[in-house]
Chains A and B, each alone.
Chain A
């Protein structure tokens, strides 16, 4: 499998590295840049990053597995993130999550992000989105939605083309 980093991304990463006193310190920013471009971080990307930063692959792999927002699998075109911290949990976040999963044919009880077979949607729980007064809240990619009823949820999904 070929993993190639385009020249402009590599130039951006090289510049990023210069912002830190030691190469290792740039690890997270380099991973962000890679995820921004590819959408996820493959094993080849981990190895490429390790080589770039003069580290062992395990050092980068530790980071990638630690942060849930660093993706180890390709994600859907639309990433539905349902908040499940206390207020939202009380406000029906679990029901909302289940509603999405049932609507999109996903397993509501599986651990971690669930992606539809066609690669269009990913549904997952996230922690506090900082809008406890309007629970339950959720995000679709970078768009924020408050007080999401099941009807509103259907409408949101409908708008995703």
Chain B
């Protein structure tokens, strides 16, 4: 239980020598080398040592996943190194310890490597003064429009102003004015007056996204961040620059002026736009989702996510969501059915079906738990089952060609055919020749996959669960409104076999219920096996039953997930 099976098959890293340094008087051991933004081992820097010592060093331009620029000067610290005598041997204090000589000049912690015996001083009056000075300079031309700035509440200028700011400005000269509301690209709006020229966005788009689109033009206090005139900043990763912008210069057109960030509830979740399963935070308030932001997970997406995935949330709040349970009786009466009556009726129907007369098509967008519960139905009914493959275009960074978030879950639970979609023609044939009389559909519009209205009309029973209306839901005899991932808990297995959980951010609309909840009731009614009523228990039960997941627990997979063998 404690040792979750991780099959991260990286070679054991070579042992890295440790060196001793002191941070604010506390001695710690740090590795001589640390992986830099690209994963290459480089000498450990003072800022990394301070992080290991849990000492916060304020910074703007430094980002652990970007090349070092060293231009903001906010991370200046004082330091000392052991003194050497003319014989190149350490000079000792009277008590036998090496004599450490403080450097007459400070150094930027982000770009200065540590050396054995080094002492870093991050909380001296001198360091405080330097931080105050740097901050004062950064604020000289800043518009101070925090009340209407989207970054307010998550702005490094604001945060460090609390720590190192002055109560009054000493600047009496006119401020330099720069372009406002610059339309940088289809998703990005730039305010050049707020920009502190840290170049994080330039480095990101050049070195991570591979699109050298941004630069700083003019010079001195007229320095201005821009894209080349007439060229849109429009790659599929532009919104990451909004995340890493330490101030409110780069803002998301989608999120701009929509909500103050401090009103947002942040829920740990997983992006469902492709099989990569980027870890995200869902920012929501009451019933509405306002934004997705990437949640750092170095085993999956690092601190990034693609723009498409990030903006693919609006369907969750659509007006035409399915919110009512339907049964044949309720259709006639023109009133919604109750969950209990519909589920009881379905269970009675399914219990009477002869073996081999039921087919199940469950989307690889359903969760592991749901697919596993469906597989229990499948086993009991002797049903044929499959999922629908969704292949598109991938890229080299994060976007997977597989657009199903849970292809591997559908495979591991045995719902999908070995070659996903291979059973669909067999199901079509079965319905056509009358062998298959009952079709259960979860989350797919099967009319788009070879099962037209006339074919579905031959069925005795069509049971459909979905989130949004489509041609299949219109034909359903029983319609069970389900939930988006943001409205329930569960796990997906991503393309590399990482089992990742997501939490509930908002309430589902109307009578919609998480599929795993009503599937539990249905499975209980049909098979007579009682399961767990909680997602924790359900997951653990599934992990015991599905061999690839053996040993996993809901608690054990944590927020970052666990990779299993697929």
Residues of A41-63 contacting chain B, CB below 8 A: 43, 55-59, 61-62
Q: Is the CB of B218 within 8 A of A61?
A: no
Q: Is the CB of A57 within 8 A of B218?
A: no
Query: Pick the contact of B213 from A56, A62, A66 — CB < 8 Å?
Result: A56
Q: Is the CB of B212 within 8 A of A58?
A: yes
Q: Is the CB of A56 within 8 A of B218?
A: no
Residue A65 lies at the interface, judged by CB distance under 8 Å to chain B = yes
> Cβ of A59: which chain B residues have Cβ within 8 Å of it?
212, 215
Query: Pick the contact of A66 from B212, B217, B226, B230 — CB < 8 Å?
Result: B217
CA distance A117 to B391 in the complex (A): 61
> Cβ of B214: which chain A residues have Cβ within 8 Å of it?
58
Residue B229 lies at the interface, judged by CB distance under 8 Å to chain A = yes
> Cβ of A62: which chain B residues have Cβ within 8 Å of it?
215-217
Q: Is the CB of A61 within 8 A of B212?
A: no
Most buried by B among A57, A58, A59, A65: A58
Shortest Cβ distance from A32 into chain B, in angstroms?
18
Residues of B193-238 contacting chain A, CB below 8 A: 212-219, 226-231
CA distance A56 to B229 in the complex (A): 12
With contacts defined as CB atoms under 8 Å apart, how many contacts are there between chain A and chain B in the complex? 31
> Cβ of A55: which chain B residues have Cβ within 8 Å of it?
212
> Cβ of B217: which chain A residues have Cβ within 8 Å of it?
61-62, 65-66
Query: Pick the contact of B227 from A43, A58, A66 — CB < 8 Å?
Result: A58
> Cβ of B218: which chain A residues have Cβ within 8 Å of it?
65-66
> Cβ of B228: which chain A residues have Cβ within 8 Å of it?
56-58, 61
Residue of B nearest to A47 (CB): B228
CA distance A57 to B229 in the complex (A): 9
Residues of A14-67 contacting chain B, CB below 8 A: 43, 55-59, 61-62, 65-66
Interface size on B, residues (CB 8 A): 14
Q: A43-B229, A56-B228 are in contact. Are A61 and B219 (CB under 8 A)?
A: no
Query: Pick the contact of A57 from B216, B219, B231 — CB < 8 Å?
Result: B231
Residue of A nearest to B216 (CB): A62
Shortest Cβ distance from B228 into chain A, in angstroms?
4
Query: Pick the contact of A56 from B212, B216, B219, B230 — CB < 8 Å?
Result: B212
CA distance A56 to B228 in the complex (A): 9
> Cβ of B215: which chain A residues have Cβ within 8 Å of it?
58-59, 61-62
Shortest Cβ distance from A49 into chain B, in angstroms?
12
> Cβ of B213: which chain A residues have Cβ within 8 Å of it?
56, 58
Give the contact-size bracket for chain A.
10 to 19
CA distance A61 to B214 in the complex (A): 11
CA distance A108 to B439 in the complex (A): 83
CA distance A43 to B217 in the complex (A): 14
Q: Is the CB of B219 within 8 A of A66?
A: yes
CA distance A65 to B222 in the complex (A): 10
Shortest Cβ distance from A53 into chain B, in angstroms?
13
Shortest Cβ distance from A43 into chain B, in angstroms?
7
CA distance A65 to B213 in the complex (A): 16
CA distance A62 to B202 in the complex (A): 12
Shortest Cβ distance from B424 into chain A, in angstroms?
46
Most buried by B among A43, A56, A66: A56
CA distance A58 to B217 in the complex (A): 9
Shortest Cβ distance from B222 into chain A, in angstroms?
9
Most buried by A among B213, B215, B216: B215
Residue of B nearest to A60 (CB): B228
Shortest Cβ distance from B363 into chain A, in angstroms?
42
CA distance A43 to B230 in the complex (A): 10
Shortest Cβ distance from A21 into chain B, in angstroms?
20
CA distance A56 to B230 in the complex (A): 13
Shortest Cβ distance from B276 into chain A, in angstroms?
28
A62-85 interface code vs B (CB 8 A; 1 in, 0 out): 100110000000000000000000
Most buried by B among A59, A65, A66: A65
CA distance A55 to B228 in the complex (A): 12
Shortest Cβ distance from A93 into chain B, in angstroms?
20
> Cβ of B219: which chain A residues have Cβ within 8 Å of it?
65-66
Residue of A nearest to B219 (CB): A66
CA distance A56 to B227 in the complex (A): 10
CA distance A57 to B230 in the complex (A): 11
CA distance A66 to B224 in the complex (A): 11
Residue of A nearest to B214 (CB): A58
CA distance A65 to B215 in the complex (A): 11
B138-160 interface code vs A (CB 8 A; 1 in, 0 out): 00000000000000000000000
Shortest Cβ distance from B178 into chain A, in angstroms?
13
> Cβ of A43: which chain B residues have Cβ within 8 Å of it?
229-230
CA distance A65 to B231 in the complex (A): 17
B76-94 interface code vs A (CB 8 A; 1 in, 0 out): 0000000000000000000
CA distance A65 to B216 in the complex (A): 9
CA distance A108 to B217 in the complex (A): 25
Residue of B nearest to A43 (CB): B229
CA distance A65 to B218 in the complex (A): 5
Residue of B nearest to A111 (CB): B222
Residue of A nearest to B218 (CB): A65
Residue of B nearest to A66 (CB): B219
CA distance A59 to B216 in the complex (A): 9
Shortest Cβ distance from B214 into chain A, in angstroms?
7
CA distance A66 to B231 in the complex (A): 20
Residue of B nearest to A50 (CB): B228
Closest 8 CB pairs of A and B: A65-B217, A58-B215, A58-B228, A57-B228, A56-B212, A62-B215, A65-B218, A66-B219
Chain B interface (Cβ < 8 Å from any Cβ of A): 212-219, 226-231
With A59-B215, A62-B215, A65-B218 already in contact, 6 other A-B pairs whose C-beta atoms are closer than 8 Å? A58-B213, A58-B231, A59-B212, A61-B215, A61-B217, A61-B229
Give 26 pairs: A residue, B residue, CB < 8 Å, sorted on A. Answer: A43-B230, A55-B212, A56-B212, A56-B228, A57-B228, A57-B231, A58-B212, A58-B213, A58-B214, A58-B215, A58-B226, A58-B227, A58-B228, A58-B231, A59-B212, A59-B215, A61-B215, A61-B228, A62-B215, A62-B216, A62-B217, A65-B218, A65-B219, A66-B217, A66-B218, A66-B219
